Amino acid sequence: MVIVGIDARSLSELQDWPWPRRYHADLINRIATAAPRRLFLDIDFSSRSNAEDDQLLESALATWKGEPVVLPAFYQQASASERRLLLTEPLPRLRRHAVLGSVNLLPSEDGLVRSMQTVWDVDGRQLPAAAALLHGLPQDSSDPRQWIDFTIDPASFRYLSFIDVLANGVSAEHFAGMTVFVGATAVELGDMIAVPLHQSLPGVVVQALAYETLRNGPPAKLRPPLYWLALSAAIVLLTFLFGRQSWQRNVLVTVLALAAVACVCLYSYTVLNTILPVVPAAIAIALAYLLSTLRSLQLETLRALSYALGFRKRDALLKSIVLSSSDCIVCIAATGKIMTANPAATALFACPARELQGCSIFEFLPSLADGRSGASRFGALSGDIAEYTARTKKGDEFPVELSLSRVRFREEELYTAIVRDISERKAQQHQLQFQATHDPLTTLPNRPALAARLDSVLAQRDAKHPVALMMIDLDRFKEVNDTLGHNVGDYVLYEVARRLQRIVGERGFIARIGGDEFALVVENFAGLSEISALSQELVDSLKRPVETCGIAIDVGLSVGIALYPQDAADAETLFKHSDVAMYVAKRSGSGSGFEYYDTASNRHSVRKLSILSRLRTAIAEDQLQLHYQPQVNLATGRVESVEALLRWEDASLGAVRPDEFVQLAETTDLNQSLCRWTLVRAFEQSVAWRRKALEVRIAINVSARVLQDVRFPRALADLMQEAGVSTEHFELEITESAMMLDPQRAGRVIRELSDAGIMISVDDYGTGYSSLAYLRDLAVHSLKLDKSFVMNMQQHDHDRVIVESTAQMARALNLKVVAEGVETGADAVMLRDAGYDYGQGYWYSPALPPQELANWVRKFNATASPPDVRRLSL
């Protein structure tokens, strides 16, 4: 393509403008010599010039070889007021030798020409555009609009100056096969068109560009599905990106994305000759940004909304908790004024809600007020939980637990008080405290309570203000419990406690410290006479029997008194010494009484206590022994029975006399185990002797206490069965005084034993004042006259009378009679003559260890003869 321009140089050299048409004819002829492909003269030939020049131009066109020359035609408005379009065409004589091509270029709304219309259809006449004509009409005229590619550089075209062509002609090299455009390029000719990119270009150049655009083929458009797909993908990506970062960053991304789109579009347009619609992409990016921003905004809003909702819900929950709380919750100002209170508060203080509000808290919690200013007082209390006494509106007091906490509310210092009624808890605590310090049966204070009381009392007292501790122990209570059962025992204790309490009243502190033991602390007394009087009152209170279930139960009591600080320097010793005094009172035997502690009895009692403690081990470790003393049949002179007597040699105490430790054991729980030990041992010995063919009956001493135990006969039967002894192998010795302690109960046990075939001997007969009728009814087997009568019968007539009359009486009752304490042969003769069946004493032998006794008996029986014979032999 070559552009022959009517440029400024041409204009200046060919001065007479408008040029005579012979110049144009000349130009055509000169170009024709170079055989170009086609020629387009973009010059207006619509008006007539002089005939000669028109003729010359016509003939130049007519002689043109090849494709006919293209001449311009254009539509323009008929007049300023008329919208009808008129076609301005070259003169008909010229038109005959050429084809017409439209040179109309319609600007866009901004005044720039961007496209051409390839075909014009006005009033039913079709006119192709010049460029389209030169290139060959487009087949598909459905879209007559065609973009002009302004990225084609106009400088890339070959330009020749009109004047040069006229002056020098054209070289075939430059024109052969070319499409030649001829038109005004000089600015002063005014044929300038506003275009994008280049601002303005001469009309002919724009036509050339249009032609070149058609030649290159119109810019391709991306196929819609692909484009939209890519666009959607980009949007998704962007939306994803936008969703992840702040809106500020998103702005940057948006700008970058827009720039990238512009670059891509530009690149695709210039390099790939492909138009990418930049606007939808830009809109989409902007939309994506907008949407994601909106979406995040919405999320934020939703979040804020749900937070607000949650807050309100929590608020409502808190409120309902406060309202329904069983604890009283009160909000108070630093002055103590009640700001608000929940329903529990109105209930607690028995004050209507509207009256409560505005009241001072001190009206209900007076102990909260302490004279300090509210803020410092409440500040000091807040955070703690403490107990106070609260008051209802009416003035009823009750204990509460209060926790105070400070709250800052709208710059105001407030306090919340949670108040809980703890009356029930207090009552419970009180009850627990009572249970811990009181005996449930008698409701008297217990031993720990007494100890605590004694400690606190002793701490305040001195020699000028002595304290008396009185130990009170019931007599014969064990028997009551054992025989009448625990229910009766409990009732007796209850009744005794009631009587003692009534007597003591405010004079002292009385406690039950053990099974049947009570203790009394007396602080304020004028002198010992007052203590003695009180003790006597206590003793006398049990003179009247305790009655229950129709039985009159006779229990007594023994009182031991020790004084602080005279008798003891501390509580423990005071306890011990009053206990010793009580023991002494009990042993003094002549019924119930009281006794003061004195050091002499204490010395004894130390021995007693150590005997008891060592006896316990002696029984457990089998350190006791049984010795046997023969009983001689006075008629035959043979030994038929022996009496088992306890012997105890203690490592530190030495030999302890049996009557001493047996009596001690009787006052304690050791009695039972000692009795059992003796029975078991004696039964074993009996079996062992019979195995060695030594046939002697064993007389076993049993304590008075077993007679009070109704279970004794059963236990004895069991022991007999275990050892393999029967009733003829032994007899039981029970002292007459023991029988007379509680004749009825003792009688029951004795009868049960003798019914079982067990022989019973009344020991120490003559000391217990038993009636003969009673002995007869008991069905005992023999009487054993106390040794004191025997030992004195030679000297004292009245003892001899007793010895003799006892024998006669026993014979009358069909009882055997035994004499103990036979110390001389004369005694033996005299006793035999008086009618005694058996004699026992040092005259024959003291109690011997089993082996020695066996040897002694064998030897003795081998030479057996009646007493008088023996006396002769001596």
Where does this chain bind ligand C2E (CB under 6 A)?
Answer: 629, 644-646, 657-659, 662, 678, 701-703, 733, 763-764, 787, 820-823, 840-842, 847
Nearer to Ca ion, 475 or 764 (CB): 764
Q: How far apart are CA 861 and CA 856, in angstroms?
A: 8
CB of 644 to ligand C2E, least distance (A): 6
CB of 701 to ligand C2E, least distance (A): 3
| Eight-class DSSP state of 846 | -
CB of 609 to ligand C2E, least distance (A): 20
Q: How far apart are CA 28 and CA 41, in angstroms?
A: 9
Binding-site partner at residue 646 among ligand C2E, Ca ion, none, CB < 5 to 8 Å by type? ligand C2E
Binding-site partner at residue 17 among ligand C2E, Ca ion, none, CB < 5 to 8 Å by type? none
Binding-site partner at residue 686 among Ca ion, ligand C2E, none, CB < 5 to 8 Å by type? none
Largest CA distance in the chain: 221
CB of 763 to Ca ion, least distance (A): 4
- Which phi and psi (to 5°) does residue 819 adopt? -115, 130
Count, residues near Ca ion per rule CB under 5 A: 4
CB of 685 to Ca ion, least distance (A): 16
Q: How far apart are CA 624 and CA 690, in angstroms?
A: 23
Binding-site partner at residue 847 among Ca ion, ligand C2E, none, CB < 5 to 8 Å by type? ligand C2E
Number of Cβ atoms within 10 Å of the Cβ of 680:
13
CB of 740 to Ca ion, least distance (A): 15
Binding-site partner at residue 630 among ligand C2E, Ca ion, none, CB < 5 to 8 Å by type? none
Nearest in space to 553 (alpha carbons), one of 471, 493, 603: 493
Nearest in space to 716 (alpha carbons), one of 682, 669, 764, 765: 682
Nearer to Ca ion, 535 or 631 (CB): 631
CB of 775 to ligand C2E, least distance (A): 18
Q: Which stretch binds Ca ion (CB under 5 A): 301-309, 535-543, 548-556, 727-735?
A: 727-735
CB of 692 to Ca ion, least distance (A): 25
- Letter for the amino acid at 380? A
Among 442, 701, 806, 845, binds Ca ion (CB under 5 A): 701
3-state SS, residue 308 = helix
Binding-site partner at residue 476 among ligand C2E, Ca ion, none, CB < 5 to 8 Å by type? none
Binding-site partner at residue 821 among ligand C2E, Ca ion, none, CB < 5 to 8 Å by type? ligand C2E
Q: How far apart are CA 10 and CA 409, in angstroms?
A: 96
Q: Are strands 782-785 and 816-820 parallel, antiparallel or unpaired?
A: parallel
Binding-site partner at residue 645 among ligand C2E, Ca ion, none, CB < 5 to 8 Å by type? ligand C2E
Exposed e or buried b for every residue in 575-603, given b needs 16+ CB within 10 A?
bbbbbbbbbbbbbeeeebbbbbbeeebbe
Distance of CA 338 to the CA centre of its chain: 35
CB of 665 to ligand C2E, least distance (A): 9
Nearer to ligand C2E, 530 or 823 (CB): 823
Q: How far apart are CA 234 and CA 228, in angstroms?
A: 10
**What one-character-per-residue DSSP string does 287-303 give?**
HHHHHHHHHHHHHHHHH
Which parts of 461-520 interact with Ca ion (CB under 5 A)?
none
Nearer to ligand C2E, 116 or 662 (CB): 662
Nearer to Ca ion, 579 or 764 (CB): 764
Among 421, 733, 827, 837, binds Ca ion (CB under 5 A): 733
Q: Could you tell me the two tokens for 223?
A: 């196929």
263 neighbors 246 (Cβ within 8 angstroms): no
Q: Are strands 759-765 and 730-735 parallel, antiparallel or unpaired?
A: parallel
Helix-helix angle 423-437:447-460, to 10 degrees: 90
Which parts of 745-774 interact with Ca ion (CB under 5 A)?
763-764
Number of Cβ atoms within 10 Å of the Cβ of 78:
11
CB of 478 to ligand C2E, least distance (A): 17
Q: Interface with Ca ion includes 731 (CB under 5 A)?
A: no
Chain positions contacting Ca ion, by CB under 5 A:
701, 733, 763-764
